[in-house]
Chains A and B, each alone.
Chain A
């Protein structure tokens, strides 16, 4: 019994080690209400409730160190020109306190606290609530309208309305004479986004700050005008409680809240949030980064890539990545149809690696794309390599033929091959991003002797290579299937 328990314990630890760290960020990503992630001089920054925030060198491993004065709650940040505008609520809201919140903005030329240019301007009051009215001026979110260049700020909590005000993008001050507009109820930690003619209002519903029992979840409505009305997919106004669920608890990450969006390039977007409790990290509130997808004009929270054994399917034709080796026939004979009805029916075992591996060359083996036959040379095991670092939202992976150490690798002539043994070299490490349409981009950490960022593409139906990513081409896109 004791041995049995020990095995279970080891399996549990292994489970946490192999899968738990893949769900949220690693390091010490402890934060509540993370602001939209900003990149500054090659590092990533996010600020949280209570002052301070997190810094990351690679977007995967996060540690404390970001500096934001003013304490207060739920900041947001945006880069305008060559400056960063940070907005925050001076108070924390709460039933024990009042609801006389204050929204403040301040500028900084850099977010790097070690830079000689690092200096926040004096805070500017842009909105407040009197503690009695149906609004609590905390939890601001910023949007610089790409169409008009106008700067908007939503703010508020469950205490009454979410409101919208306009700020001056030059000064960070409230536009003179601007009147606040009510745009939603019963949510908080709102954020505004724009995409393809729609303005999106993302808010957090539910209850925070109760560890694994927090019911936080993120909802969204959209409008053709930044001023609303914001409607959900059923046409319900967010002023009447409407909202389409974007993200609730998943697996061991409980209570997502405080949405932020990062556009890395066309077709590659991430969303940030915090989880009220990461069960694998002691129930701490942690930073979360996931792929952000768009389906039928609505944002959808994607899932970070998980270790597993997959068919790697080209979006171009539907063929799958495979070793360029001989096709080995399975035992069996050509059957005539509609005959032999009396013959006993016995299952036929699937082809095993041991059935074919001796026919494979020992050295490098090229790869190609072929019609999928569920054969060992077409099955890839993808495993995170935690010590290899990561990128915004994920770790690097090794991609090996299932049950072998034979690894996919980029070559100096911008092609792909497999090497007999994974060594951890940068050209054998792969970044996997889920794209906004739900397909995936597969990118080597390094192309030898090259500074170019290339991705795995289909140059023909049957031929893979490395080339620049093009979101408009199915050549650049892949899917991972478990069948």
Chain B
């Protein structure tokens, strides 16, 4: 009985998703759609495990090392509902203990409702972090999802007037050292330098950047870099997961 109810809910969600998909929701196929075998799902195309040694940003300053939490399932019918108030409510919700202060370690598990989710310390092979591929590679839900991401920036000196630059698909919210710094609301595609924080100060030593990215129907990803007061990427920092 429980399985039947779960199946019904799943089918309903799939139906809703197919009718209100992100782009090109056109039910006009006259071709049988046989997806290629995905038995070889893996994170390897897009990520490598984070190493103990810290890394530096790529040439354009993008931060490629992140602790990523497996997606929290959310019932999201359309991305146009990502209003500021919806997002504040969604991101203020407590999903797991110490979610705004936790610096997790690779493999650490948290409980979110009935879901047991694992943190993964990864280096993206790309300038952006393809959350869709992260979830897909782990056989996790890819649509109707909320991701948490954490990284640690080690600055060799205090840096004033820097800005955190973010692009995300879809909406997201970001914090640095526990302070909210950015909210990207609405139905968004990931665009480099889409939204920038106000002027901030990077402390000498450890700075923790935390993000929450939410998506209904869409290919979730994000990109983050730090820009100096001249708009140039900050590269003389080290990035780690601890």
Contact = CB atoms under 8 A, between A and B. Distances in A.
Contact of B127 (A94, A240, A243): A240
A141 to B, nearest CB: 14
B28 A188 contact: no
Given A130-B36, A240-B223, A49 B26 contact: yes
Nearest to B15: A96
A98 interface: yes
Contacts of B217: 95
B219 A159 contact: yes
B169 interface: yes
A236 B223 CA distance: 14
Nearest to A232: B191
Given A186-B169, A215-B80, A240-B192, A210 B20 contact: yes
Contacts of A215: 79-80, 186-187
A207 B79 contact: yes
A96 B28 contact: no
A32 to B, nearest CB: 7
A437 to B, nearest CB: 30
Tell me what chain A mostly uses at the interface: helix, strand, loop, or mixed. Answer: loop
A322 interface: no
In this complex, the member of A71, A92, A95, A160 whose beta carbon has the largest number of chain B beta carbons within 10 angstroms is: A95
B192 A50 contact: no
A138 B30 CA distance: 13
In this complex, the member of B15, B23, B217 whose beta carbon has the largest number of chain A beta carbons within 10 angstroms is: B23
Interface residues of B, number: 43
Interface string A239-260: 0111100000000000000000
Given A241-B192, A242-B191, A95 B21 contact: yes
Given A95-B17, A99-B35, A131-B33, A207 B78 contact: yes
A158 B23 contact: yes
A207 B31 contact: no
B203 interface: no
A96 B17 contact: yes
Nearest to A237: B192
Contacts of B186: 215
Nearest to B36: A130
A162 interface: no
A209 B16 CA distance: 13
Interface in A172-214: 185-189, 204-210, 213
Contact of A71 (B17, B30, B36, B127): B30
A73 B24 contact: yes
Contacts of B17: 95-96
B223 A157 contact: no
A50 to B, nearest CB: 4
A31 to B, nearest CB: 12
Contacts of A72: 28-31
Contacts of A131: 33-36
B30 A209 contact: no
B49 interface: no
8 contacts: A51-B28, A94-B24, A95-B18, A100-B35, A158-B218, A207-B23, A209-B21, A209-B26
Interface of B: 14-15, 17-31, 33-38, 78-80, 127-128, 143, 167, 169, 186-187, 189-194, 217-219, 223
Given A158-B219, A209-B25, 20 more contacts: A51-B28, A73-B28, A90-B31, A91-B29, A93-B24, A94-B21, A95-B143, A98-B33, A131-B35, A132-B36, A139-B24, A160-B219, A186-B219, A208-B24, A209-B20, A210-B80, A215-B79, A215-B187, A242-B191, A243-B191
